[in-house]
Structure 1
Amino acid sequence: MHDLPGFALPLLAAILAGGLIGFEREWRGRAAGFRTHILVCLASALLMEAAVSQGSWRFAPLTGTEIVSDPTRMAHGVLTGIGFLCAGVIFRSGFSIHGLTTAASLWITSAIGLLFGAGLFALGAAGTVLTAAILVVLRLVDLKLPRKLVVDADVTWRRDDPDTERRVEAALADADRARRADRFELVDDGEGVRRSFSLKLEGEAALKTLAARLRTIEGVTCYKLDPRND
């Protein structure tokens, strides 16, 4: 019990750091948000606190001997275990891989928790500030950079209308001649055909133009245009 006051500051710092990073993910609507990041950071700090205070565990060294602890072994185990949690927020949809940024934020949040648990407050605080800056500031910079919009497109049309496929192909070719096709599927009990494409468009205006053109194609029963955004 007498060690608890010394544990309070590292654990509080871990909660604040995890909350700051998790708030950005929560604000962007990611699966792993505010509470998840706090728990990851707090758990890492708790385990590291346990590792660096091994001398106070319920055993006593023999006379003339001393205990030499190796907290880095705990850090290795924590970061390895966090890898399984990170894998849970990464998923593939069509051509896209989603959740990589959230997985990376969980991994670095765990590392920050380990730093606070080891009493490295300055390094942990620096890591928290840099992580928040990367997630927020660089995201704003990224939005300002001129670049093509990568879109996953799923288009469904009636199977008994062979002319529709040609018109859909023409619409997609006008939007991006270097498009890539992925899946072919029969849907609606074999009544419909669904195809998936990867496109690069010149911004949101081109995306709206493509959506409007697909709406005018008779025979198209459903479409989804999903811009990649991690």
Structure 2
Amino acid sequence: MSQIWHIHAGGIGLRLLLSVVFGGAIGLERGWRNRDAGFRTHILVCMGSALFMMISIFGFGDQHVDASTHPVDPLVEPNLLADPSRLAAQVISGVGFLGAGMIMQNGKTVFGLSTAASIWVVAAIGLCMGAGFFFCGVTAACLVLIVQMIFSVKG
């Protein structure tokens, strides 16, 4: 691996495995309810988010500058144009757009909102797993499953 990566293969594997397990668990619930975005879709969104988060954290290691000891001067460092941690923010926007495609209307009935929301939250879980924020990601995944399974009654 390049020297900019400050994570070992086991850390990468754990992050990806957890994103597959918990994204898949939420996707299974959606699949059991015969929703369009099910098992595979949720796994791919969650794992993709984890990958983007790892790239955000570890992929630009040589560009992270401590502003307190080394202020960034664009005239001195012209190649440091953006904060690479913003990559994760683009996941939120992109997956929001993907989820919006799941929302359909038939007359006065709107459906697909829960599936769209689950895709969006699975992306957040993937970002947590990719960041190594495991407790938050696992807790969120468990809560999503509880919400999707228990609160499924329309009121």
Matched, 1:6 2:11: yes
Identity %: 41
State the Cα distance separating 1:60 from its structure 2 match: 10
Matched, 1:117 2:130: yes
Classify the secondary structure of the residue corresponding to 2:151: helix
Aligned residues: 138
Matched, 1:83 2:88: no
Deviations 1:147-192 (A, max 9, x none): 6xxxxxxxxxxxxxxxxxxxxxxxxxxxxxxxxxxxxxxxxxxxxx
Which amino acid in the other structure matches residue 133 of structure 2? Answer: L
Whether the 8 Å CA contact 2:60–2:84 is kept in 1: the answer is no
State the Cα distance separating 1:22 from its structure 2 match: 0.3
Which amino acid in the other structure matches residue 143 of structure 2? Answer: L
State the Cα distance separating 1:122 from its structure 2 match: 0.4
Separation in 2 of the partners of 1:60 and 1:128? 31
Separation in 1 of the partners of 2:103 and 2:9? 37
Runs (5+) with no aligned partner, structure 2 = 2-6, 73-79
Bigger share in strand:
1
State the Cα distance separating 1:70 from its structure 2 match: 5.3
What is the TM-score with the length of structure 1 in the denominator?
0.54
State the Cα distance separating 1:92 from its structure 2 match: 0.8
Runs (5+) with no aligned partner, structure 1 = 148-230
Matched, 1:20 2:25: yes
In the alignment, which residue of structure 2 is the partner of 1:180?
A: none
In the alignment, which residue of structure 2 is the partner of 1:53?
A: 58
Whether the 8 Å CA contact 1:52–1:69 is kept in 2: the answer is no
Whether the 8 Å CA contact 2:103–2:116 is kept in 1: the answer is yes
In the alignment, which residue of structure 1 is the partner of 2:113?
A: 100
Separation in 2 of the partners of 1:60 and 1:97? 45
Separation in 2 of the partners of 1:40 and 1:105? 10
Separation in 2 of the partners of 1:85 and 1:29? 19
Supply the RMSD in Å over aligned alpha carbons: 2.6
In the alignment, which residue of structure 1 is the partner of 2:38?
A: 33
Deviations 1:94-145 (A, max 9, x none): 1111100000000000000000101100000100000000000222xx37xx
Separation in 2 of the partners of 1:110 and 1:55? 21
Q: Given the alignment, which residue of 126, 129, 140 partners 2:142?
A: 129
Relative contact order (C-alpha < 8 Å, sep 6+): which is higher?
2
What is the TM-score with the length of structure 2 in the denominator?
0.79
Deviations 1:198-226 (A, max 9, x none): xxxxxxxxxxxxxxxxxxxxxxxxxxxxx
Which amino acid in the other structure matches residue 34 of structure 1? Answer: F
Bigger share in helix:
2
